[in-house]
Amino acid sequence: MIHLHWPWAFLLLPLPLFIRWVVPAVSDSASAGLRVPFFSLLHKGQDLSLRKLRWPWLLAIVIWILLLCAFSRPQWLSDPVAKIKTGRDMMLAIDLSASMEIKDFYIQQQPVDRLTAVKSVVHDFIKKRQGDRIGLIVFGTHAYVQSPLSYDLHSVRTLLDETRIGMIGKQTAIGDAIGLAVKRLHDHPRNQRILILLSDGNNTAGIISAEHAAHFAALEGLRVYAVGIGQYRRSLFSGQHLEQSAILNESTLKAVAKLSDGQYFRAQNTDELKDIYRTIDQMEKIPIGADYFHYVIELYQWPLALALFLSFGFAALKCEFFVSRSQNKNQTLNNLGEV
């Protein structure tokens, strides 16, 4: 299908005539270097050339129309192609308490603290969430919005990289983080909003308990995916499996996930953490509509090239006219000389 992107360009069609009628012709009588008293006789010798004047004018009109065609940007548009959109309004709540300093994760066989491992995994997770709006909440003794919901995933990743352990206290306010997410997502569609809560500690700070906050999230239809960070290690003295830091409370995180119709995950290493986010990514992609687009091929170069080609013909005809005119003048002068 042929489509003109700027069809209003054809409003300029009468512009040359308008200029010819409005702008006065330049008078060269004052600058004439030679006055010919027998000009009427010379004029009679131009009858053959005058008959050719119609062709330059016709070519000029055709060239002008072709230029307007090129200026209107003709395009060939394909049939509409549908692209299904999938997306969510998603808040990430990241624990920055002191327990995130424990180096029980490995990246490329190098021990790293828990926050570094989380950043590496969540960074890739955010990068793949094209079409989603991502927000970032960080919490320690208090909970703050590090980034509001945004389609600018690059900025969200940058703000995540700028977080530091203990920057807002060494304790863990899980309930406040959930409550803040409920507040931020309150006005968004109920079936398109989730919270991913990542923590490795008990709810040791804040003004609301994690269970009460999860109850409010359930009332708002906010699904919470809770991810517990940490691993078991064997005690050298008792031979029993003990918690690395003795602060991970799985029962609290499981209760939060259950109350909000979400799910609880336990990440003991980087690979498990990647699998968790991969699972969430597959679970939370739902169609929310479709975008339609056309493949576009620009065609302006064809009328422009034809106008350029005809302009050479126009110039050739003008040259032929002036040469013929000069020859007729010379012949007329010779005839006058013989007389």
Contact predicate 61/74, CB 8 Å: no
Q: What is the DSSP annotation of 235-301?
A: -TTT--EEESSS---HHHHHHHHHHTT-EEEEESSHHHHHHHHHHHHHHT--EEEEEEE--EEE-TH
Q: What is the DSSP annotation of 27-47?
A: P-STT-S---TTHHHHHHTTH
Q: CA 227 to CA 269: how far, in whole Å? A: 12
The two beta strands, 241-243 and 232-234, are: antiparallel
Q: CA 209 to CA 186: how far, in whole Å? A: 19
Q: pLDDT value at position 290?
A: 62
* pTM of full prediction above 0.95: no
Burial of 289 by CB count in 10 Å (0-12 exposed, 13-18 middle, 19+ buried)? exposed
Report the 10 Å Cβ neighbour count for 291: 10
Residue 232, SS3 per DSSP:
strand
Q: Domains along the chain?
A: 2-21+41-78+296-338 (no CATH), 84-290 (3.40.50.410)
Q: What is the DSSP annotation of 1-21?
A: -EEES-GGGGGGTTHHHHHHH
Query: Which amino acid is residue 315, in one-letter code?
Result: A
Contact predicate 114/100, CB 8 Å: yes
Give the pLDDT of the chain (339 residues) as one tens digit per residue: 788 888 898 898 888 888 888 887 766 555 555 555 545 544 454 444 444 456 677 888 888 999 999 999 998 888 877 665 666 788 999 999 888 888 878 888 888 888 888 888 888 888 878 778 899 999 999 999 999 998 888 999 999 999 999 899 888 899 999 999 999 988 877 777 889 998 876 788 888 999 999 999 999 889 899 988 875 444 444 444 444 444 567 888 899 999 988 889 888 777 877 888 778 777 655 555 666 777 888 898 999 999 988 888 777 766 665 555 555 555 555 554 555
261: closest CA among 224, 210, 288, 227?
Answer: 224
Q: What is the DSSP annotation of 128-179?
A: T-TT-EEEEEEESSSEEEEEEEES-HHHHHHHHHT--TTBTBSS--HHHHHH
Q: Which two tokens stand for residue 170?
A: 């060494």
199: closest CA among 123, 153, 266?
Answer: 266
Report the 10 Å Cβ neighbour count for 142: 16
Residues 6+ apart with CB under 8 A from 318: 56
Cα–Cα distance list, 211 to 202, 226, 256, 304 (Å):
12, 12, 6, 71
Residues 6+ apart with CB under 8 A from 78: 1, 294, 295, 296
Contact predicate 226/181, CB 8 Å: no
Q: CA 269 to CA 54: how far, in whole Å? A: 86
Q: pLDDT value at position 318?
A: 66
Q: CA 228 to CA 189: how far, in whole Å? A: 27
Contact predicate 321/52, CB 8 Å: yes
